[in-house]
């Protein structure tokens, strides 16, 4: 039995499906079982919160492996990266050690470090550190930004407002990877096809930009659609001023500043231990999205 924390999410759903495809029994920990409707019917769903040790112990009982595909950057329940990515992962890791779990796969992010400008990246780095020190056999998969996530973020105003929204100038080259390429790597880690204790980095085949994603979304959506920008200066101001009253918005503004102003390119050959080279392009993702 493999526990997938985050099995209701974009990446987690695909990991669950791939594991079920090879007959692996899978359990998903979720705060809301309604979010698991799209999962195969024979997946065990356990309701609970990753920050609650008794929920996690209940979900992990009898599992030989754990996948952590959670995050607290945004989403329901006013999460924070500190609470979910750092502390929630610590609860999962502690339970895995107590229960003698044989394999813990942590999904992290390319570029994490202790003094990163984004709390998400600092919190993921803390989780990586806790896992390496835990004595639990592990693999860490660091991914670049997900195409599926950002296509939704940039394209969400198209239907109602008629424009795609770009954060800042949006011309900085950014590597995006599809969850279709990340999920098989996570499954390879579950089955120890990569060395235990490895930290792998995975990016997609293209370095794109916010603007290039917006252009493709607009041209796909048809005539009369446009692209609007939130100015970088406003994002910089909101990343600081919004912190006390709208922390999630402040985190998103910080992310936008980082993605516009730092090197976000990635060469797919980096981290050379990948078994399959990521091939999914933005066009592949957009052509199958509805």
Query: Is residue 210 at the binding interface for ligand NAP, with CB under 6 A as the rule?
Result: no
Nearer to ligand NAP among residue 51 and residue 260 (C-beta): 51
Query: Is residue 44 at the binding interface for ligand NAP, with CB under 6 A as the rule?
Result: no
Compute φ and ψ for 6, nearest 5 degrees: 95, 15
Residue 240: CB atoms within 10 Å? 11
Query: Is residue 217 at the binding interface for ligand NAP, with CB under 6 A as the rule?
Result: no
Distances (CA, A) of 61 to 14, 58, 65, 96, 187: 23, 6, 11, 10, 20
In the numeric block, which tokens belong to residue 251? 């985190």
Query: Is residue 58 at the binding interface for ligand NAP, with CB under 6 A as the rule?
Result: no
Query: Is residue 97 at the binding interface for ligand NAP, with CB under 6 A as the rule?
Result: no
Query: Is residue 75 at the binding interface for ligand NAP, with CB under 6 A as the rule?
Result: yes
Q: How far is the CB of 117 from ligand NAP (least distance, A)?
A: 16
Nearer to ligand NAP among residue 75 and residue 173 (C-beta): 75
Cβ contacts of 145 within 8 Å, gap of 6 or more:
174, 175, 176, 177, 259, 264
Q: Among residues 3, 26, 30, 80, which is the contact residue for ligand NAP, using CB under 6 A?
A: 30
In the numeric block, which tokens belong to residue 107? 């999904």
Query: Is residue 6 at the binding interface for ligand NAP, with CB under 6 A as the rule?
Result: yes
Element (H, E) at 139: strand 138-143
8 A C-beta contact, residue 242 and residue 256: no
Nearer to ligand NAP among residue 21 and residue 32 (C-beta): 32
Q: Among residues 109, 214, 217, 218, which is the contact residue for ligand NAP, using CB under 6 A?
A: 109
Query: Is residue 138 at the binding interface for ligand NAP, with CB under 6 A as the rule?
Result: no
Distances (CA, A) of 271 to 124, 185, 203, 268, 288: 18, 12, 10, 8, 29
Query: Is residue 149 at the binding interface for ligand NAP, with CB under 6 A as the rule?
Result: yes
Query: Is residue 140 at the binding interface for ligand NAP, with CB under 6 A as the rule?
Result: no
Coil, helix or strand for 276? coil
- If binding means CB under 6 A, how many residues of this protein chain bind ligand NAP? 30
Applying CB under 6 A, the residues found at the interface with ligand NAP are 5-6, 8-12, 29-32, 35, 49-51, 69-72, 75-76, 79, 84, 88, 107, 109, 143, 145-146, 149
């Amino acid at each position: 039995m493999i526990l997938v924390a985050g099995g209701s999410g974009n990446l987690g759903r695909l990991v669950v499906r791939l594991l079920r495809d090879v007959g692996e029994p899978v359990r998903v920990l979720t705060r809301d079982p309604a979010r698991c409707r799209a999962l195969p019917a024979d997946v065990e769903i356990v309701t609970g919160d990753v920050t609650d040790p008794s929920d996690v112990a209940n979900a992990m009982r009898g599992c030989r492996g754990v996948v952590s595909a959670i995050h607290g950057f945004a989403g329901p329940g006013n999460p924070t990266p500190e609470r979910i990515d750092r502390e929630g992962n610590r609860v999962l890791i502690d339970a895995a050690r107590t229960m003698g779990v044989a394999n813990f796969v942590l999904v992290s992010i390319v570029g994490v470090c202790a003094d990163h400008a984004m709390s998400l990246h600092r919190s993921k780095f803390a989780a990586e550190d806790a896992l390496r020190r835990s004595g639990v056999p592990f693999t860490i998969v660091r991914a670049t930004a997900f195409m599926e996530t950002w296509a939704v973020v940039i394209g969400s105003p198209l239907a109602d407002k008629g424009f795609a929204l770009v954060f800042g100038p949006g011309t900085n080259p950014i590597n995006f990877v599809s969850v279709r390429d990340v999920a098989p790597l996570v499954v390879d880690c579950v089955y120890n096809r990569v060395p235990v204790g490895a930290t792998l980095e995975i990016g997609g085949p293209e370095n794109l930009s916010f603007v290039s994603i917006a252009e493709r979304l607009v041209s796909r959506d048809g005539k009369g659609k446009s692209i609007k920008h939130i100015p970088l200066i406003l994002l910089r101001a909101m990343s600081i001023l919004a912190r006390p009253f709208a922390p999630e918005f402040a985190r998103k503004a910080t992310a936008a500043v980082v993605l516009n102003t730092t090197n976000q390119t990635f060469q797919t050959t980096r981290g050379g231990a990948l078994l399959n080279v990521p091939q999914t392009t933005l066009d592949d993702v957009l052509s199958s999205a509805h």
